[in-house]
Amino acid sequence: MPENLQVGNVTAKRGKLQKGIIKGVELNTTTSIDIPILLMNGAKDGPTLLVVSTQHGIELQGAEVILKIMREKIDPSELRGAIIGIPVENPLAYMHHQYLSWIDNLDLGGGGSASPLTADQPDGTATERLAYALWQEAWSKADMVINIHCNTRPDSLFFTEINVMNPKTKERLERMAEAFGVTTVIDRTLFKEDGPPTLANLAAQNGVPDILVELIDGRWISEPSTTVGVRGTLNIMKAFDMIDGEIEPQEGIIVIPGPCKWEGIVRANRGGLIRFLKPPGDFLRKGEVFAEIYDLYGDVLEEVKMPMDGYIWAYPCGDILGTPGSMQTVQTGANVAYVFTQEKE
Ligand SMILES: [Zn+2]
């Protein structure tokens, strides 16, 4: 941790909290769309933690978590290490209440595409340039990353997802997930040293553990997301000795003992309105009906069934323009449920 930590246009001396921006892109009005940052340089030595939210522009909850942590919970004179907080990573998505950047319909993190957006394009499109600036100014300076997303509905399960296939980050990611304390989903996608340089891949290739956190009820700053997010983030900081204190177990939410395995998306075969018969977190048997799609006369068109013994973690239905969870309706091929199982050790 340096004597003076510099990110974007801000420099924080030891024991100080500063705010500023990472320079972003310019609109046709010449208005600059920059990325606001908070920078806390602790008085004592320790790791640099980057906490980011709102890579997807409608997933707000993490912004509040970052502000609570950096403005209320942590005293820089007590902090060992540093925190870089980025409440809204993609202002081009956030400004239009959209999941993706309105200007080029791209995902800053490279999600949802066969040729993902990478963070190595200083001469690229608007969103590629934001990703490049984020890598240069923030991600590349971090020793670990907490990347906060949100499922849309308030009944979704909280979870963290970690990829354990990279020996350089596996052990620290497992410690981070355990400390955060919600349901943990293990990603066993093969780690490639030469994978496309998305923000997440660049972090992994540089040996920086990057944990994905999914809070719930993304569009509204609400409980229990704020409390769970703040508690989990503070727990990670305790686990890595950045602050004093005992790790606090998560309370008042469903936690499925793990590790758990992501099984994919159940999709609709018919279109119409949809009702849900089982809450996320219930154990369901293969073939059990958990939702019904019905027409505008009230006739049931499809009973949606569980593909295996396992759990639903969220109902991301109503997807449009890459935005899950906008309305309680589906068309053929639309997302109905995210499904996971408990991994057998
Ligand atoms: Zn997201």
Query: Could you report the average pLDDT of every consecutive run of 10 residues in the chain (345 residues)?
Result: 88 97 96 98 97 95 98 98 98 93 90 82 96 98 97 91 95 98 92 92 96 94 97 98 98 92 94 96 97 98 98 82 72 92 79
**Strand, coil or helix: what is 124?**
coil
Q: What angle do CA 314, 192, 182 make, to 5 degrees?
A: 30
Which stretches of the chain are assigned E, i.e. beta strand?
4-7, 10-13, 16-26, 32-41, 44-53, 80-86, 144-150, 159-163, 183-187, 210-215, 260-267, 272-276, 289-294, 300-305, 311-314, 329-330, 335-342
Give residue 12 CA to ligand 1 midpoint distance, Å.
29
Give residue 218 CA to ligand 1 midpoint distance, Å.
9
Q: Are 122 and 30 in contact (CB under 8 A)?
A: no
CATH number of this structure's domain 263-340: 2.40.50.100
- Residues 6 or more apart whose CB falls under 8 angstroms from that of 318 comprise 324, 325, 326, 327, 328, 329, 330, 334
pLDDT value for 321: 56
Alpha helices in 109-252 (DSSP H): 126-137, 170-180, 199-205, 225-239
The CATH fold of domain 4-239: Aminopeptidase (3.40.630)
> In this structure, which amino acid lies at residue 199?
L
Give residue 111 CA to ligand 1 midpoint distance, Å.
9
3-state helix, strand, coil in the chain (%, to 5): 20, 30, 50
pLDDT value for 66: 98
Give residue 74 CA to ligand 1 midpoint distance, Å.
26
One fold for 4-239 and 263-340: no
The structural domains of the chain, with segments of one domain joined by +, span 4-239, 263-340
Give residue 56 CA to ligand 1 midpoint distance, Å.
5
Query: How do 10-13 and 335-342 pair as beta strands?
Result: unpaired
User: Phi and psi (nearest 5°) for 122?
Assistant: -65, -20
Give residue 101 CA to ligand 1 midpoint distance, Å.
13
pLDDT value for 105: 87
Give residue 166 CA to ligand 1 midpoint distance, Å.
22
Give residue 335 CA to ligand 1 midpoint distance, Å.
15
Partners of 19 in beta bridges: 38
Q: Which helix (H) or strand (E) holds 61?
A: helix 61-68
